[in-house]
A and B are shown apart, each in its own frame.
With several copies, the nearest count.
Chain A
Amino acid sequence: MIDVVICEQDFDVGEQYAQVCALAPRAGAVVFFVGLVRDLYDSHDSSETIEFLELEHYPGMTESLCQEIIDQARQRFPFDLARVIHRVGKIHASEQIVMVAVASRHRDNAFQAAQFIMDYLKTRATFWKKEVGVKGEQWLGRKESDLSASLRWENNSTELK
């Protein structure tokens, strides 16, 4: 199973779950995170709805970065298996955009690793997102909340045990 998949096609969570379980037969805990496109603009404080996101990335560099993030997570929170799927291209409101799956012996590592991977993916992986809708087009910048979520892993004193 490939750890990192960047693709335009949608993915089937049930199928991914079955694959993860089959490949991690000793796991006692499986955590799945799925990110979906929200229908409201992130870039405006508005109730206007977006039509779709346009996602691009840096082919080659993105895959390496995602693999690095998985490897870093594994060192901190040992697990049996992790998988990242991230879509690119045109993704409509309420469609799936990203999946992180982690299978481990115990639940704490699975939860922590999945969060770590998501936080780092948001702030380090070379994806760019453009919102398209009634308010026009707008490239999104990095969010403060994602930055601080990512920074908490640098500060061991606030880390959940």
Chain B
Amino acid sequence: MIKVLLFANLRDIAGASQIELPLGNMVQVRDLLADLVSHVPGELIEALSDESAMVSVNQKYAGWDAPLFDGDEVGILPPVSGG
């Protein structure tokens, strides 16, 4: 399984802070993002592309081509606004 964490406005839109997806045929982060479409509201997908969210794999920033393995924790991160 892949544990997907959603934060801030993305979590509000999705209505969930955490989604579990089977690894299935997913090889890279981009596969996961494509797969997410079938599990979350369409607005989330829009927000994702609009806001150029970043992605983390196991709590490190990762590109869309980063490899995925069973048990990975993937964060979908809206633009940060701390400080």
Residues of A within 8 A of B (CB): 35, 55-58, 60-61, 64, 86, 97-98, 118, 121-130, 139-143, 146
A2 to chain B, nearest CB (A): 18
Q: Are B75 and A127 in contact (CB under 8 A)?
A: no
Q: What is the bound-complex CA distance between A140 and B59, given in angstroms?
A: 22
Q: Are A139 and B82 in contact (CB under 8 A)?
A: no
Q: Are B8 and A128 in contact (CB under 8 A)?
A: yes
Q: Are A56 and B8 in contact (CB under 8 A)?
A: yes
B24 to chain A, nearest CB (A): 25
B31 to chain A, nearest CB (A): 22
A31 to chain B, nearest CB (A): 14
Q: Are A128 and B83 in contact (CB under 8 A)?
A: no
Interface size on B, residues (CB 8 A): 17
Within 8 A of A (CB), among B1-34: 5, 7-9, 12
Q: Are A139 and B9 in contact (CB under 8 A)?
A: yes
Residues in chain A near residue B12, CB distance under 8 A: 139
Residues in chain A near residue B77, CB distance under 8 A: 58, 126
Residues in chain B near residue A97, CB distance under 8 A: 83
